[in-house]
Structure 1
């Protein structure tokens, strides 16, 4: 076992929603953390977010920042130097469809390979990569509704959107690298989260949280017929650390989910029942599918999720629980924590 106080862990994408919680989980366990950001000017804002997440001032002494960008070689040699582990969290995830799919695919794939090569050259022991449920659940026949780590998105299916393609291609490239002579000796574990909710620490939160904000604001006239699997960001961060430390996690992928899945109406009803004062504007009537198809013509955020319209999707966390002893919060608790944090930070419009 590594001694946390003597072990450096690199977290890529340290200013992001999940990246911040990975830093919190590592600092809580006593690790020394180096986080990549695109500009050192962001460092004070990241520290503010970490304090909101409960990190005490003395723990911040074990955190350092380094500038590195997925699209550039500069900075990665310095970023990985002396690190035993890397949590590779950074990846583009826009709320709207990109103009060109390669705007997502190239940085996701090439950035992952850039980090793996730097890790191998620096003698890093293990990389834990954040992939996505999007690399698992798309492009399958409609009759397939239950997904595990054995499933892979079929990128040859024309209905698969650029984000799902980018995550699938990047993860496939990572496994190919590890299984090649070039990657020999470097360990890889992969975490595949579903829709990530949980307490926002700043305006930089996951795209999934936009749905909860829109429901609280009453910004949508009703609930689209869509189903999501949900997981709390704090549990995803913990799963990364478990996959980093457990010998049995090498060469494995783990679904991060708190089943069963929920449709948007069930999410809205959870807000109404658990937070009646905050959810007065939250709609609970179901929107007809044809109306969503019309809205998607003008609304890029709606267009991005249209492939999920009417589709039943569920996922299993059995492997993460069995192999790593992971125990996530309930989906309802994740929804409530999300809403409360948005209100507390003043991120819900009146």
Structure 2
């Protein structure tokens, strides 16, 4: 392969994907919305153990504009499309999040096709798989899709589902030979490279600082960000990955109380503020109706959204770290951030 493009290089998953590529010997090009963020991107990579030098090029491209994507994709053999539109305020309606996600994905795919890119790996989410279903005893697989018409589906899950469906439709109908693979991570934990980290990590941060008074009653899968990055690399390079989607999760799902117990066991006194009591389901559901911070979790409360990565393990030989180690390393990393 020649140069690989990573969209959203300043983001949490994007930065670790860039690190994985650099460590594997690739030249990397990455997009940011504002070129003033280049020093921050390079600082994050150095904190992760890489000094990219000339092996990294930072270019400007915005998912909500056509400008810059032809130049960003030209000459690249592969693309990891990790970037996702972000909002600083809760969306006023679904389209405020859905349209940028769908349109941005299609912009990247069109530019990739027109530039002769061989394969695009799209970062989707478990939000495109496991929501809007009745409780079940078997784990979710890549055959499942979120039911966006179910009551309570939030704009984030809808945006991830519709953006991924749009990507598959585009490649099948207009791709012109462009290959697509998709990675669907569960909750992503792992070491942070800056104070600008993902919402999943906010769960552990709130436990550690005492701002979470009680544990929320739900269970879902979790995965190390470094393993998510390694799965992106496998999805980019392995022949068996073309045309496939892959759930990224480590082992079975964990209840929030199990995450808290791991923190207490591994951190001791430093986990003194981590709550030990679980909020009753009926209380949590009532709060979710009035608390904007809990609204996205409303469909999870009282539920177990277990999923399996058996497909990635079987087809690609993908392996994950023990999730207890990841949870402990996540906490250590958050505690080490400058205050």
Q: TM-score normalized by structure 2?
A: 0.97
Task: Say yes or no: does 1:89 pair with 2:79.
Answer: no
Larger mean Cα displacement after TM superposition, 135-144 or 43-52: 135-144
Task: Say yes or no: does 1:69 pair with 2:62.
Answer: yes
Task: Say yes or no: does 1:293 pair with 2:288.
Answer: no
- Note if contact 1:195-1:228 (Cα within 8 Å) is conserved in structure 2: yes
Spell out the pairing of 1:256-335 with structure 2 (5 A cutoff). 256-335=248-327
- Give, in whole Å, the separation in 2 of the partners of 1:245 and 1:311: 36
Shift of 1:293: 3.1
Task: Say yes or no: does 1:127 pair with 2:124.
Answer: no
2:199 partner SS: coil
Tell me the residue number matched to 1:159.
Answer: 152
2:297 partner SS: helix
- Note if contact 1:96-1:300 (Cα within 8 Å) is conserved in structure 2: no
The C-alpha deviation readout for 1:192-224, integer Å capped at 9, x for no partner, is: 000001001111111100000000111111111
Gap runs ≥5 in structure 2: none
- Give, in whole Å, the separation in 1 of the partners of 2:101 and 2:326: 27
- Note if contact 1:145-1:312 (Cα within 8 Å) is conserved in structure 2: no
CA RMSD of aligned residues (A): 1.4
1:35 partner SS: strand
Shift of 1:299: 2.6
Shift of 1:38: 0.7
- Give, in whole Å, the separation in 1 of the partners of 2:243 and 2:47: 34
2:181 partner SS: strand
1:191 partner SS: strand
- Give, in whole Å, the separation in 2 of the partners of 1:29 and 1:212: 30
- Give, in whole Å, the separation in 1 of the partners of 2:287 and 2:89: 14
Q: 1:136 aligns with which of 119, 122, 129?
A: 129
Shift of 1:247: 0.7
Q: Identify if the C-alpha distance between structure 1 residues 324 and 94 changes in structure 2 by more than 3 Å, giving closer, same or farther.
A: farther
Task: Say yes or no: does 1:204 pair with 2:191.
Answer: no
Tell me the residue number matched to 1:102.
Answer: 95
- Note if contact 2:98-2:155 (Cα within 8 Å) is conserved in structure 1: yes
Shift of 1:298: 4.1
Gap runs ≥5 in structure 1: none
The C-alpha deviation readout for 1:85-125, integer Å capped at 9, x for no partner, is: 00000113569742211111011100000110000000000
- Give, in whole Å, the separation in 2 of the partners of 1:79 and 1:54: 25
Tell me the residue number matched to 2:36.
Answer: 41
Q: Identify if the C-alpha distance between structure 1 residues 168 and 174 changes in structure 2 by more than 3 Å, giving closer, same or farther.
A: same
Task: Say yes or no: does 1:216 pair with 2:208.
Answer: yes
Tell me the residue number matched to 1:18.
Answer: 13
The C-alpha deviation readout for 1:113-145, integer Å capped at 9, x for no partner, is: 011000000000000000000000011122365
- Note if contact 1:97-1:303 (Cα within 8 Å) is conserved in structure 2: no
2:268 partner SS: coil
1:147 partner SS: coil
Q: TM-score normalized by structure 1?
A: 0.94
Shift of 1:317: 0.8
Task: Say yes or no: does 1:148 pair with 2:141.
Answer: yes
- Give, in whole Å, the separation in 1 of the partners of 2:68 and 2:38: 16
- Count of residue pairs the alignment pairs up: 339
